[in-house]
Amino acid sequence: MAEDIKTLDDLKSAVTGTSADAATAVVHEAQIDDLGRSYATGKRKDAVARVWVKPGSGKVTVNGKDINAYFARPVLQMILRQPFDVAGVAGQYDVTATVKGGGLSGQAGAVKHGISQALQLHQPALRAALKAAGFLTRDSRVVERKKYGRAKARRSFQFSKR
């Protein structure tokens, strides 16, 4: 018996009568409010998005406007659709988002992050696909601050010999 136990996990499974994989598996449960929505916050650069996701026909509203009116560039609209395409639930959820700060590109990234977080809260089975695509991780890159004695964050003033 003692020769068969080689690791701590083997010891745990021998004592409890279960495998180590079953003991470490985490089960997520859906977080849905009274109106059938899931809420999440998405961030990118200086933009912060509050996102509500609920089952519906696929309508996306950002700051009270349709996605085509708020994000006029097709690239930004594609960024917002990526979480649905990766999860395979395109056209099944309605999204309502309010976003502040930053520019349009940062706001699109913030809404994408919020949609991904809210989708995995509404339907935990989608977490693996969204995590593999990297949509649940906040992109922490922000603009570097300007330093004193410099023209910008790193650029020096032009050198003059005379």
Mind listing the pLDDT tens digit for each residue in 59-115?
A: 999 999 999 999 999 999 999 999 999 999 999 999 999 999 999 999 999 999 999
d(CA 150, CA 162): 20
What type of residue sits at position 154? R
Alpha-helical segments (H) within the chain: 8-16, 20-24, 67-70, 74-87, 104-122, 127-133
Q: Is 52 exposed, middle or buried (0-12, 13-18, 19+ CB in 10 A)?
A: buried
> Residue 25 CB: number of other CB atoms within 10 A?
8
- CATH no. of 34-133: 3.30.230.10
Can you give the pTM of this predicted structure? 0.79
Q: How distant is the alpha carbon of residue 10 from its chain centre?
A: 36
Both tokens of 42, joined, read 């998405």
